[in-house]
């Protein structure tokens, strides 16, 4: 399914500054339009999750110190790349001394995903076994045209 739709169905406000505020002037002012949009919406955000990446797997800096500081005390940024936010430090929680915004810099967040996926998959298998009467009552019959769970 569409990740954006799933987030929004849970009350999350999804903002894509690279598409939401694009200048049509052709004069290279897209960055200024995007920055202006972020300056407008960030003060209303309690939590911002940054996950921007370029096609070459580098992460652009999308939030500089000024953009962080418009959020205000008690707000939080989770930077999954530790590079999208100027104040992020990998594996650390930094509290901006000026604004009080907490910035959580993930340390190799992608390395955590396979482990989490394996744990969730294992939990699903355990629940399937439990709901079918335990391992002794569980069988899988596989053939080239179908897989049957019983």
Average pLDDT of 140-150?
52
Q: Is the pLDDT of residue 144 over 60?
A: no
Label residue 146 left, alpha or beta by phi (over 0 means left) and psi (-120 to 50 means alpha): beta
Higher pLDDT among residues 32 and 123, named by residue:
32
| Token pair listed for 78 | 């989770």
pTM of the model: 0.63
Looking at per-residue confidence, does 106 or 54 come out higher? 106
CATH of 3-107, one of 3.40.50.720, 3.40.47.10, 3.10.450.50, 3.30.300.30: 3.40.50.720
Residue 69's pLDDT band (boundaries 50, 70, 90)?
A: very high
The distance in angstroms from the start CA to the end CA of the chain is: 27
Predicted pLDDT at 145: 56
- Residue-range domain boundaries for the chain: 3-107, 111-149
Tokens of 81: 């790349």
Across 91-95, 127-131, 143-147, the highest mean pLDDT is recorded for 91-95
Residues in the chain: 150
Q: What is the pLDDT of residue 11?
A: 77
> By percentage, how much of the chain surpasses pLDDT 90?
21
Per-residue pLDDT, 49: 86
């Amino acid at each position: 399914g569409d990740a954006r739709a799933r987030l929004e169905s849970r009350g999350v406000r999804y903002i894509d500054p690279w598409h939401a505020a694009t200048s049509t002037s052709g004069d290279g002012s897209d960055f200024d339009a995007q920055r202006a949009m972020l300056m407008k919406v960030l003060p209303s955000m309690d939590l911002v999750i940054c996950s921007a990446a370029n096609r070459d797997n580098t992460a652009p800096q999308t939030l500089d110190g000024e953009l962080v500081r418009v959020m205000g005390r008690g707000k939080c940024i989770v930077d999954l790349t530790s590079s999208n936010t100027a104040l992020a430090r990998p594996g650390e929680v930094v509290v901006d001394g000026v604004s009080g915004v907490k910035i959580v810099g993930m340390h190799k967040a992608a390395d955590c995903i396979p482990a989490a996926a394996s744990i969730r998959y294992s939990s699903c298998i355990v629940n399937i076994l439990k709901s079918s009467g335990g391992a002794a009552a569980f069988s899988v019959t596989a053939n080239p045209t179908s897989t049957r769970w019983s």
